[in-house]
Structure 1
Amino acid sequence: MTAVDDEAFSCLMDSVDPPLVVVTTAADGERGGCLVGFHAQSSIDSEHYSVWLSKANHTYRLGLRAQRFAVHFLTAQDLSLAETFGTRCGAETDKFADLTVDIDEHGVPLLRDCPNRLLLERIAVLDDGGDHVCLTTRVVSAVSSGPFTPLRVSDADGLEPGHAAEERAVAP
């Protein structure tokens, strides 16, 4: 087996340029949210969606205790939300402080400025040893305001993450 060519891998991943989402959740009276670039539909019948949370994030540790999540699909005009949820540490600051937020019946924060969203219920957690953990979920509901242009990873290139991948938690 040959070693991975990092430059080739980066080139291939740059061509994918996935849309960015904000994942929010709550557990034990605490709320959290983070910017996520790794996410995808993972079943058609029944509808499942998977999101990968960085082990360096406060939302990851909170998400291990949570059962419900919201995935907010960002539009091309939502770079400031991407900055809020991607560059700040939720353990040190309230990312929701200056936002209009509704709370669903399970305590999950819903960003009113992001009308395109999925509400999810956790099915499983997969930790394969990488720097992200996969949450497989069942889609409870989907809401859309209609077609939109998504904010993509390349649109947020200049954002500095709130944590480096090397800061990942060894244990939750």
Structure 2
Amino acid sequence: MDAQIDPRALFTLNYGVYILSTSYEEKKNGQIINALMQLTADPICMAACLHRDNYTTELVEKSGRFSISVLEDAVPLKFIGLFGFRCGREFDKFGECTYEIGESGLPLVTEYTLAGIELSVLSVQDVFTHKLIVGRVEKAQLLKEGTPLTYANYHRVKKGKSPANAPSAVFNQVK
């Protein structure tokens, strides 16, 4: 990393912890993300950032749609690990959790989830090692009240780490 970039400065930015899921030709997959933001209000559009080599990225590009599960602060680290540290090419992540299939056919993890959002892809932009995926919100539902998990609490309270492919893997260096 560039000596002029202090990862502690980047760690001051606010992030949430989410599961981004999709399906294509009967294949479901999902992964933990923290790079998600709302871009517009009318229509409501959001952007998510995924590593270009991830299986989820491949399926999102093929299907043209994805869902977001907003995780609650009480989610156990082991549950996050289901979607954060194993590849869906070799492991059925949805066989280990509670989920529903939305109106658009997308899987939506409901366990430890505060809200679910379904989106259609508007554009995909290459950004070095990652892809920025812009989507239009088609449906959003509140599943329960609670406190969303922040990425800072994932690291500080739960002592979680970021996979090498995560845009925020640099935070593993922050103590």
TM-score by length of 2: 0.82
Superposed, 1:119-138 pairs within 5 Å as 119-128=118-127, 130-138=128-136
2:114·2:144 contact (CA, 8 Å) conserved in 1? no
In structure 1, stretches of 5+ residues that fail to align are: 167-172
Q: Structure 2 residue aligned with 1:17, among 10, 14, 18?
A: 14
| Pair 1:56-2:53 in alignment | yes
Superposed, 1:78-157 pairs within 5 Å as 78-79=75-76, 80-113=78-111, 114-128=113-127, 130-145=128-143, 147-157=145-155
In structure 2, stretches of 5+ residues that fail to align are: 167-175
Q: Take 1:145 and 1:25, find their aligned partners in 2: how far apart are those partners?
A: 19
Q: Displacement of 1:132 after TM fit?
A: 1.6
Q: Take 2:67 and 2:99, find their aligned partners in 1: how far apart are those partners?
A: 12
Q: Displacement of 1:160 after TM fit?
A: 4.6
| Pair 1:165-2:165 in alignment | yes
> What value does the CA root-mean-square deviation take over the aligned residues?
2.0
Count of equivalent residues: 160
Structure 1 residue ranges, 4+ long, deviating more than 3 angstroms after superposition? 158-162
Q: Displacement of 1:5 after TM fit?
A: 1.3
TM-score by length of 1: 0.83
Residue identity (%): 23
Q: Displacement of 1:4 after TM fit?
A: 6.4
C-alpha distance after superposition, 1:72-101 (max 9, x if no partner): 101101234322111111112111112122
Q: Which amino acid aligns with 1:126?
A: Q
Task: Return the structure number with greater strand share.
Answer: 2
Q: Take 2:10 and 2:40, find their aligned partners in 1: how far apart are those partners?
A: 23
